[in-house]
């Protein structure tokens, strides 16, 4: 038992380093923390810190759904109200009307069970057939306070032919610590499109666990991006299941940790049906004494003939104290498929750096140009230029380029 | 303008420049020739500030500034330009953004305002026509997918954009066909002026028919062993380098 599990009990044991999935992301430090669900949040007393804007991307014309420490903030939110768009927090809806698509994560993983047991709220978003939502929906979660645990879960259902762009943004004020345990489940109907941008920009010392589970039906398209701008300890789990023919899944990510930050991206792409394509590109630059993990699984099941799967993870280790553990895992059970993957770990290209400097560009500006080029392929596929520019400017500001 | 005095440099334990002296006055064009491994490219890299070379002695003075004290970027801002023998490909950085950053780096250094977009584009147009670099190449990532000739033309384009005080051309003729050689030479000749000096490093006399030097030096075993006028290049073409080679002090292969 630990201080943490005393308060948050579960039938599943917390993961240890003995488990391959958690080997490089130990959580021992979390287990010694005196974390609890914010009493402020439990009592529904809310105050929003001035240092954080409710809308994290001011330039983006978007709907806004705001949560603080797991609790919905109605006065700061701006929900879409139109035919064919159901967008309601679970706390405000008739439980019988709730969508249900549990994937069993709560029975497999401790993190999932904790979320299932201690869940506070979340957004239930249903886009009906052929509806194209006119603006992106930004779901912003803020952690604010010492030793706060938050357990949100969002459900998204995009019906046949519908289109939706969601930005899932998590932030934390500098005084914060504790745990963010956030799940998202999405189902993308036939011919439908879901663009999902996930951004973690958390100050303080928060253990950030997130898990997205996305099921794609025939000819649907997923465009997903996972950006870690800032976060003391971050684990992003992404699981995509291609369940119908001809799906297209694009999922990219970037991380540039500083100091002693830890960043872990675990992805699974499961092709169970034929004629699907998937393209995965994760790029990271490890600074200072930061540590990182990339683990990318691709399954091509026996029925998934004519699958075209691409995976790449490229890392630059910028400083001597930093480290990244990267591992591609491909399991292919069909014989007529195209699969390519590559993981690289390297340093800044010194020849390129000298070339730029020899033209009068100072070292800092030269590195910024190289970083921008390095991230370019990930940023260029983001749904809106407002968002990609905001992300780049947050990186720029943080790294002082 | 440039005074190199007793310059010594090494890579690892390997001494390459062993007391090199050279003076270049404003407006002069000096050709440096010499056999493989004599230190020609090392000289270019050391002058431009590549930090994989360790300078172990000597001074390099450019109009009163000791270049050896400066970072590569500050040397460029003081007016040094190196046209690379093997220009680097930088995917994702556009040629124009690159040049804008370079020009503005230099301008900020001099306390000037960043260049106006309109002036910048006019300059780009003028300089790219000088070396017949078409718009398609200009707008792409730096050197990415360029042919050998296109890369060298891009070097001269950059030189024209940055208007250096001292331009060092490191084997700019290597990998060029006759037409490209003519275009590149035309660009260099258009840049010659009474205030701008050149050091042209080459293996072959061929280039010097197009870019006519004021002086020719022979570099051998890390030192300049012979200097002369442009006729020296012809003599070298005829006789080779053996008659000039400094006896090596390395006795390991005796």
Question: Looking at residue B234, what is its pLDDT?
Answer: 87
Question: Looking at residue A1, what is its pLDDT?
Answer: 67
Q: Per the CB < 8 Å rule, is B90 touching A373?
A: yes
In whole angstroms, give the CA distance from residue B129 to residue B161: 12
Nearest CA in chain A to B84: A355
In whole angstroms, give the CA distance from residue B187 to residue B198: 13
Q: Per the CB < 8 Å rule, is A373 touching B93?
A: yes
Sign (positive/negative) of CA torsion A91, A238, A274, A245? positive
Nearest CA in chain B to A369: B93
In whole angstroms, give the CA distance from residue A313 to residue A79: 36
Our separate counts of H helices and E strands in chain B read 9, 12
Give B57→chain A minimum CA distance, Å: 22
Chain B positions in Cβ-Cβ contact with residue A357 (cut-off 8 Å) = 49, 71-73, 76
Partner residues linked to B108 by β-bridges: none
Give A380→chain B minimum CA distance, Å: 11
As a whole number, mean pLDDT of residues B30-55 equals 93
In whole angstroms, give the CA distance from residue B101 to residue B109: 12
Give B109→chain A minimum CA distance, Å: 9
The model's pLDDT over B145-167, given as tens digits with 9 standing for 90+, comes to 999 999 999 999 999 999 999 99
- Count Cβ atoms within 10 A of the Cβ of residue A13 and give its class: 0-12 exposed, 13-18 middle, 19 or more buried: exposed
pLDDT at B206 over 60: yes
| pLDDT higher at A39 or B101 | B101
Closest C-alpha among A133, A122, A290, A124 to residue A210? A122
Q: How far is CA A104 from CA A186, A192, A306, A350, A389, in A?
A: 14, 24, 29, 48, 37
Question: Looking at residue B251, what is its pLDDT?
Answer: 46
Using 50 as the pLDDT threshold, list the residues of chain A that sit under it. 44
Enumerate domains of chain B plus CATH numbers.
2-244 (3.40.50.300)
Q: Per the CB < 8 Å rule, is B82 touching A356?
A: no
pLDDT at B137 over 80: no
Question: Looking at residue A3, what is its pLDDT?
Answer: 85
Nearest CA in chain B to A379: B92
As a whole number, mean pLDDT of residues B214-236 equals 92
Going from N- to C-terminal start, the domains of chain A cover 3-399
Chain A positions in Cβ-Cβ contact with residue B49 (cut-off 8 Å) = 357-358
pLDDT at B254 over 70: no
Q: Per the CB < 8 Å rule, is B76 touching A357?
A: yes
Q: A70: left (phi > 0), else alpha (psi -120 to 50), else beta?
A: left
- Comparing CB atoms, the residue among B74, B105, B141 nearest residue A365 is B105
Give B107→chain A minimum CA distance, Å: 10
Chain B positions in Cβ-Cβ contact with residue A374 (cut-off 8 Å) = 92
Q: Per the CB < 8 Å rule, is A366 touching B48?
A: no
pTM of the model: 0.88
The model's pLDDT over A199-245, given as tens digits with 9 standing for 90+, comes to 999 999 999 999 999 999 999 999 999 999 999 999 999 999 999 99
B251: number of Cβ within 10 Å: 6
| DSSP assignment of B68-126 | GGS-HHHHHHTTEEEE-SSPPPEEEEEHHHHHHHHHHHHHHHTTPPPPPHHHHHHHHHH
* Interface predicted TM-score (ipTM) of this complex, two decimals: 0.94
Give A388→chain B minimum CA distance, Å: 16
Q: Per the CB < 8 Å rule, is A369 touching B93?
A: yes
pLDDT at B250 over 70: no
Question: Looking at residue A155, what is its pLDDT?
Answer: 96
pLDDT at B11 over 50: yes
Which residues of chain A approach chain B closer than 8 Å at the C-beta?
A: 349-352, 354-363, 365-366, 369-370, 372-374, 376-377
Give A287→chain B minimum CA distance, Å: 21
């Amino acid at each position: 038992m630990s201080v943490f599990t005393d308060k948050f009990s579960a039938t599943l044991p917390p993961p240890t380093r003995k488990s391959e999935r958690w080997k490089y992301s130990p959580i021992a430090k979390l287990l010694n923390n005196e974390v609890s669900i914010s009493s402020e949040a439990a009592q529904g007393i809310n105050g929003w810190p001035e240092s954080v804007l409710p809308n994290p991307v001011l330039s983006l014309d978007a709907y806004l759904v705001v949560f603080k420490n797991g609790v919905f903030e109605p006065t700061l939110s701006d929900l879409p109200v139109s035919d064919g768009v159901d967008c309601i927090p679970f706390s405000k809806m008739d439980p019988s009307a709730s969508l249900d698509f549990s994937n069993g994560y709560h029975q497999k993983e401790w993190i999932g069970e904790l979320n299932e047991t201690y869940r506070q709220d979340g957004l239930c978003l249903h886009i009906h057939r052929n509806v194209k939502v006119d603006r992106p929906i930004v779901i912003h979660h803020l952690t604010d306070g010492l030793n706060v645990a938050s357990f949100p879960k969002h459900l998204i259902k995009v019906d046949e032919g519908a289109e939706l762009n969601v930005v899932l943004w998590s932030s934390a004020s500098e005084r914060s610590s504790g745990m963010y345990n956030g799940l998202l489940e999405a189902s993308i109907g036939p011919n439908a499109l879901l663009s999902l941008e996930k951004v973690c920009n958390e100050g303080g010392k928060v253990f950030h666990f997130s898990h997205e589970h996305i099921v794609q039906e025939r000819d649907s398209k997923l465009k997903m991006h996972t950006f870690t701008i800032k976060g003391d300890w971050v684990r992003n789990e992404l699981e995509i299941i291609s369940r119908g023919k001809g799906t297209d899944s694009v999922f990219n990510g970037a991380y540039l940790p500083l100091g002693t930050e830890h960043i872990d991206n675990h992805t699974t792409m499961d092709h169970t049906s034929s004629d699907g394509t998937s393209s995965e590109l994760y790029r990271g630059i490890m600074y200072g004494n930061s540590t990182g993990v990339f683990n990318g699984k691709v399954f091509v099941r026996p029925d998934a003939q004519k699958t075209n799967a691409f995976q790449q993870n490229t890392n630059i280790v910028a400083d001597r104290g930093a480290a990244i553990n990267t591992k591609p895992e491909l399991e292919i059970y069909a014989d007529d498929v195209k699969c390519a993957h590559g993981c690289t770990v390297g340093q800044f290209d010194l020849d390129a750096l000298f070339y730029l400097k020899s033209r009068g560009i100072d070292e800092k500006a030269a590195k910024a140009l190289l970083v921008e080029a390095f991230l370019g392929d990930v940023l260029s596929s983001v749904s809106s230029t407002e968002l990609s520019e905001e992300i780049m400017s947050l990186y720029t500001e943080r790294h002082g380029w | 303008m440039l005074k190199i005095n007793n310059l010594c440099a090494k890579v690892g334990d390997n001494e390459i420049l062993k007391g090199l002296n050279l003076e270049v006055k404003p407006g002069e064009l000096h050709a440096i020739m010499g056999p493989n491994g004599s230190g020609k490219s090392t000289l270019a890299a050391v002058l431009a500030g590549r930090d994989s070379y360790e300078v172990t002695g000597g001074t390099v003075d450019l109009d009163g500034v000791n270049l050896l004290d400066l970072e590569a970027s500050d040397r460029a801002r003081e007016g040094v330009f190196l046209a690379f023998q093997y220009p680097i490909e930088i995917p994702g950085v556009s040629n124009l953004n690159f040049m804008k950053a370079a020009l503005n780096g230099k301008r900020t250094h001099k306390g000037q305002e960043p260049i106006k977009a309109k002036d910048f584009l006019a300059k780009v147009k003028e300089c790219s026509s000088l070396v017949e670099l078409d718009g398609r190449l200009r707008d792409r990532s730096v050197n990415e997918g360029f042919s050998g000739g296109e890369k060298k033309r891009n070097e001269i384009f950059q030189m024209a954009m940055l208007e250096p005080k001292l331009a060092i051309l490191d084997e700019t003729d290597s990998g060029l066909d006759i037409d490209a050689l003519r275009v590149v030479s035309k660009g260099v000749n258009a840049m010659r002026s009474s205030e701008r000096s050149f050091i042209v490093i080459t293996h072959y006399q061929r280039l010097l028919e197009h870019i006519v030097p004021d002086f020719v030096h022979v570099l051998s075993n890390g030192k300049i062993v012979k200097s002369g006028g442009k006729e020296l290049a012809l003599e070298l073409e005829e006789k080779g380098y053996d008659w000039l080679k400094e006896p090596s002090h390395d006795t390991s292969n005796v």
